Chain A
Amino acid sequence: MIRYIRRAAALLLLLLVALLLNAARIQVLDADSLDDNPANRRLTIARYSQPRGNILVGGRSVTGSEDTGEQLKYERTYLHGPLYAPVTGYASQTYGTTLIENAEDDILSGTDSMLAPLPLWNEITRDRQPGGNVATTIKDSMQRAAYDGLGGRRGAVAAVEPSTGRILALVSTPSYDPGRISGTGSSVTDAWQELNASKSQPMLNRAIRQTYPPGSAFKIVTAAAALDADVVTDPDDETDTPSPYVLPGTSTTLPNEAEGCEDASLAEAIRVSCNTVMAELGVRVGLKGMVDAVRRFGFNDTGLKIPSGVAKSNFDTEMSDDQLALSSIGQFDTTATPLQMAMVASAVANGGDLKYPYLVDRTTTRGGSTVHRNGPRTYHRAMSQQTAMQLRRMMVDVVDEGTGSNAAIDGVTVGGKTGTAQHGIDNSGRPYAWFISWAQAPDSAQPAVAVAVVVEDAAANRADISGGGSAAPIARAVMEAALRD
């Protein structure tokens, strides 16, 4: 019997070895792939097991983390959620992250290896560091001025500092409180469904993710292209342009809203916003010249990141001349984000040197020591310096004695350009009101700010919704906030 007992024992030993080998297989060999399985909640639990780092505006936190005592412990809270939603985005346990919450997630959640005291520290300890902070370039007073100015109407404001590319305000209205979708459960899913179903699209970031036909505001780009291409050598010379203008190759005529546009000079055409002059100048520059020019301002760039991706602003690269004529006055397929139009104003204000726009000033550890700092980078030289100087003067004229008088600020050099964009089938939609501008304090060597404002809706009549009427006062309020320090 002893022999058989030993054999039975050997069999059981075999079973033990099988168990141990299997345990080693799961816990060592397969562990990483099991850990990373998206259905494994542990990563999520670990992610929310510590407070998330904060997003700062002007040194003060506009976010927080609340201990819920639930399995996913810390939930995101927002101070002035709707005001800053286009900047922060949301960090939701149910729906993930967007905008800065998404782009700087490694810092905020504490997984960024740069947060660790030593290289490879996180990998060795398998711990995460306390979440770091993200300081934005946003200026609180400007953000509020823009938000209050829009007053809940559908629209957006983007403001940048021309000399650096720092984004000083980024507003989209109507907005939403990202705190409503921070956690889990039915209140969160209900809020999510309500926000997504809402006709006013509160979660759409109109400042960087929505494009609009820029209308007459685009004439600044066309003017820059015409001057750089020497199609116009002196902006005060008469241009040989008819009014109305028959679109090349068609019998369609393009009219003007303004008076006295026939053979008007470039400066005059900008000041009173002549469609005919700018359309023909665009055709004279030609498709290739226009495409090159708009690219230098950032149109057709699909890779612009601030650090979240910015929607592509479009200028078609294959068009007939009549389409090019319409595109040159910001119609046809030409579309732009508010940020893109702020970049146009910024390029003019900064002598043609267009800086890369950025929203994150620096990231720090929880303790405050800097992990990474962003600085000014040149994006493109958008136009020659001389062209920029000429355009500055023309934009100042628009505010001083043209369509943009509502943006004027006493004692301050302000340049601007209005736009009223038709859209919809047969232009049946309510027009979009645009205003792009920049402002320079008299004692300052550089313009303080470049702003783009778009106001989408408004049940007002045709005249009131023009860029000068609806959008320019908002731009002025934002510029005033920028100049106040």
Chain B
Amino acid sequence: MTATTADAPPPDLRLPKRRGVELLLLIGAVLISVYGYAAVGLARNGAVPPDVAGYGAGLGLLALLAHLAVRFRAPYADPLLLPIAVLLNGLGLVLIYRLDLETPKDQAAPTQLIWSTLGVALFIAVVVFLRDHRVLQRYAYLSVAAALVLMIVPIFFPAVNGAKIWIRVGGFSFQPGEFAKILLAVFFAAYLAANRNALAYTGRKIWRLQLPTGRVLGPIVAIWLLSVGVLVLERDLGTSLLFFGLFVIMLYVATGRTGWIAVGLLLAAVGAFVVGSFEPHVHSRVQDWLDPFASIDAGRGPGQLAQSLFAFAAGGMLGTGLGLGHSILIGFAAKSDFILATAGEELGLTGLTAVFLLYALLVARGYRAGLALRDPFGRLLSIGLASILALQVFVIAGGVMGLIPLTGMAMPFLAQGGSSVVTNWIIVALLIRVSDQARRPRPDHVETGVIAPMAEDEL
């Protein structure tokens, strides 16, 4: 399949591009964000914030530029992806602005707006300059090398709040691990697309499990060691979990071997148990998860997790309303790791469910693109990227709601954090790119033999 043939399908096979729908949804997303911004001002000062028009115009302009890039460079892309990203990013800005009101000395929203702008710029750059996602396949080993460097560098920088995941240069700080996850997804997709048959059909069978051979087991053990290494050296349980979960999911999708899942879960359990027992930073979080109210009983007042649970509870079904909650009681991580608690308190279970469904929709659209694509690399890439979002949402949301031990991670688009926002915009750009490929009308006369061999289950 070549780009020229794909660009010129017969007119009668043309799928609706839905760019108009996207534009309407974008307008809706911007209006909802502006409404939220105004609601915070009304609740707190009894007046609409004076800069609401500027804020709306800024967000609207970003959305419009992104839309134009998609319209002209990826006309067949899924129309839901961009509006969801804009809505989540806008909502995140509203929540951070709202929390800024409680911390007059520490204003995070302006910085976040700058990073969001940079994120959208990179989104546009990816959509404009990356004409075909399959180009990335060529850079698989360069990607993994870059990812390793990015992950190793923070070890040489001092720990911030207990985790060594930051690089500080001048006034700026960013988490290289955030970028590494995209690079790793690209590498996994390329590696698995190339080796899936070898991974799926070799190795001994013990009872009902098809176990992999030592040669192909090498990479999975390497990845496991990498994530444990990240965990121990950087004290970053979240990233470690994310990398490992991502790898297991992509491996399973590529090979369909439940044996991999079993091995993966086993390794994860061993790693988590060992680290959870002996590494003090992680150990304390497990203790917190098991009994969030222990510090209250000990007379030291509620800890972060207890405060987070209080915030969610205070929201109830319908929430207190934007600007009217007290989630700032959570303390220093309220705008970053715990931002979901503000959503839970001020928007209630209703709003929280809506937020979760937005993420679910984003992930589902990524999976859908994966299903529709024909090349294994693109498939695995879109599944991988969507799974990054899904795992990240689960790990951090489950953490702040006491479902699983807390791991320091950013809620995609919502949380304060420049590297996170920029990375997520790149992920959405890549999803736009693959979905454009997936939905592009396929001239069926060019096929067979050009496409990579298919597994038997696709027939």
B364 CB-CB contact with A under 8 Å: yes
B window 402-419: CB within 8 A of A: 402-403
A window 1-24: CB within 8 A of B: 1-9, 11-13, 15-16, 18-20, 22-24
Give a binary string over B270-309; 1 marks a CB under 8 Å from any A CB, 0 the rest: 0000000000000000000000010010000110001001
For B295, the closest partner residue in chain A by CB is A39
B310: A residues at CB distance < 8 A: 34-35, 37, 39-40, 42
A457 CB-CB contact with B under 8 Å: no
A412 CB-CB contact with B under 8 Å: no
For A15, the closest partner residue in chain B by CB is B394
Known: A22-B401, A37-B293. A27 touches B312 (CB 8 A): yes
Partner of B379, one of A1, A6, A13: A1
Give a binary string over B250-281; 1 marks a CB under 8 Å from any A CB, 0 the rest: 00111110000000000000000000000000
Partner of A1, one of B253, B313, B314, B397: B253
A2: B residues at CB distance < 8 A: 371, 457-458
Give a binary string over B345-374; 1 marks a CB under 8 Å from any A CB, 0 the rest: 000110011001000100110010011000
Contact between B313 and A35 (Cβ–Cβ < 8 Å)? yes
Known: A23-B312, A28-B317, A34-B313. A5 touches B379 (CB 8 A): yes
Known: A39-B302, A41-B329, A42-B326. A27 touches B398 (CB 8 A): no
A20 to B357, CA, bound (A): 10
B383: A residues at CB distance < 8 A: 5, 8
B316 CB-CB contact with A under 8 Å: yes
Q: What class of interface size applies to chain B in its complex with A? A: 35 or more
A8: B residues at CB distance < 8 A: 249, 252-253, 367, 383, 387
A45 CB-CB contact with B under 8 Å: yes
Known: A12-B390, A39-B301. A27 touches B397 (CB 8 A): no
A194 CB-CB contact with B under 8 Å: no
B403: A residues at CB distance < 8 A: 18-19, 22
B window 295-343: CB within 8 A of A: 296, 301-302, 306, 309-310, 312-317, 326, 329
A258 CB-CB contact with B under 8 Å: no
A15: B residues at CB distance < 8 A: 390, 394, 398
Contact between A19 and B397 (Cβ–Cβ < 8 Å)? yes
Known: A8-B252, A12-B390. A23 touches B352 (CB 8 A): yes
A34 to B458, CA, bound (A): 50
Contact between B394 and A23 (Cβ–Cβ < 8 Å)? no
Contact between A4 and B313 (Cβ–Cβ < 8 Å)? no
**A148 nearest CB across to chain B (Å):** 45
B83 CB-CB contact with A under 8 Å: no
**A149 nearest CB across to chain B (Å):** 46
Contact between A26 and B253 (Cβ–Cβ < 8 Å)? no
B60 CB-CB contact with A under 8 Å: no
A39: B residues at CB distance < 8 A: 293, 296, 301-302, 306, 310
Contact between B316 and A27 (Cβ–Cβ < 8 Å)? yes
B352: A residues at CB distance < 8 A: 23, 27
- For the complex, count residues of A whose C-beta is within 8 A of B: 34
B344 CB-CB contact with A under 8 Å: yes
B249: A residues at CB distance < 8 A: 8, 11
B256: A residues at CB distance < 8 A: 1, 3-4
Contact between B356 and A16 (Cβ–Cβ < 8 Å)? yes
A45: B residues at CB distance < 8 A: 326
A34 to B363, CA, bound (A): 32
Give a binary string over B163-177; 1 marks a CB under 8 Å from any A CB, 0 the rest: 000000000000000
A16 to B371, CA, bound (A): 20
Known: A15-B390, A19-B394, A22-B401. A27 touches B344 (CB 8 A): yes
A27 to B318, CA, bound (A): 10
Give a binary string over B120-146; 1 marks a CB under 8 Å from any A CB, 0 the rest: 000000000000000000000000000
A18 to B367, CA, bound (A): 20
A9 to B390, CA, bound (A): 10
Known: A5-B253, A42-B326. A26 touches B387 (CB 8 A): no
**B316 nearest CB across to chain A (Å):** 5
**B244 nearest CB across to chain A (Å):** 15
A311 to B67, CA, bound (A): 77
B53 CB-CB contact with A under 8 Å: no
Give a binary string over B414-451; 1 marks a CB under 8 Å from any A CB, 0 the rest: 00000000000000000000000000000000000000
**A295 nearest CB across to chain B (Å):** 44
B window 376-395: CB within 8 A of A: 376, 379, 383, 387, 390, 393-394
For A7, the closest partner residue in chain B by CB is B252
A11: B residues at CB distance < 8 A: 249
Partner of B401, one of A12, A13, A19, A40: A19
B149 CB-CB contact with A under 8 Å: no
A45 to B310, CA, bound (A): 13
A401 CB-CB contact with B under 8 Å: no
Contact between A20 and B356 (Cβ–Cβ < 8 Å)? yes
B393: A residues at CB distance < 8 A: 19
A6 to B376, CA, bound (A): 15
A286 to B255, CA, bound (A): 101
B314: A residues at CB distance < 8 A: 31, 34-35, 40, 42
A5 to B251, CA, bound (A): 11
A window 37-73: CB within 8 A of B: 37, 39-42, 45
B217 CB-CB contact with A under 8 Å: no
**B354 nearest CB across to chain A (Å):** 11
A39 to B360, CA, bound (A): 34
**B171 nearest CB across to chain A (Å):** 30
B455 CB-CB contact with A under 8 Å: yes
**B192 nearest CB across to chain A (Å):** 10
A19 to B352, CA, bound (A): 10
A40: B residues at CB distance < 8 A: 302, 310, 313-314
A30 CB-CB contact with B under 8 Å: yes
B254: A residues at CB distance < 8 A: 1, 4
For B325, the closest partner residue in chain A by CB is A42
A22: B residues at CB distance < 8 A: 398, 401-403
A1: B residues at CB distance < 8 A: 253-254, 256, 376, 379, 454-455, 457-458
B348: A residues at CB distance < 8 A: 27
B255: A residues at CB distance < 8 A: 4
**B250 nearest CB across to chain A (Å):** 9
A6: B residues at CB distance < 8 A: 371
A16 to B253, CA, bound (A): 19
Contact between B356 and A19 (Cβ–Cβ < 8 Å)? yes
**A4 nearest CB across to chain B (Å):** 5
Partner of B313, one of A7, A9, A18, A30: A30
A6 to B393, CA, bound (A): 19
B363: A residues at CB distance < 8 A: 12
Contact between A34 and B401 (Cβ–Cβ < 8 Å)? no
The interface of chain A, by Cβ under 8 A from chain B, is: 1-9, 11-13, 15-16, 18-20, 22-24, 26-28, 30-32, 34-35, 37, 39-42, 45
The interface of chain B, by Cβ under 8 A from chain A, is: 249, 252-256, 293, 296, 301-302, 306, 309-310, 312-317, 326, 329, 344, 348-349, 352-353, 356, 360, 363-364, 367, 370-371, 376, 379, 383, 387, 390, 393-394, 397-398, 401-403, 454-455, 457-458
Please, could you name 20 A-B residue pairs with CB atoms under 8 Å apart, sorted by A? A1-B254, A1-B457, A2-B457, A4-B254, A5-B383, A8-B383, A13-B360, A15-B390, A16-B360, A19-B401, A23-B312, A23-B352, A23-B401, A30-B313, A32-B313, A39-B301, A40-B313, A41-B326, A42-B314, A42-B326
Interface pairs A-B: 3 shortest CB-CB: A34-B313, A31-B313, A27-B349
Known pairs A8-B387, A42-B326 / 18 extra A-B pairs, C-beta < 8 Å: A1-B256, A4-B253, A5-B379, A6-B371, A8-B383, A15-B398, A16-B394, A18-B394, A18-B398, A23-B312, A24-B349, A26-B401, A30-B313, A31-B316, A34-B310, A39-B310, A40-B310, A40-B314
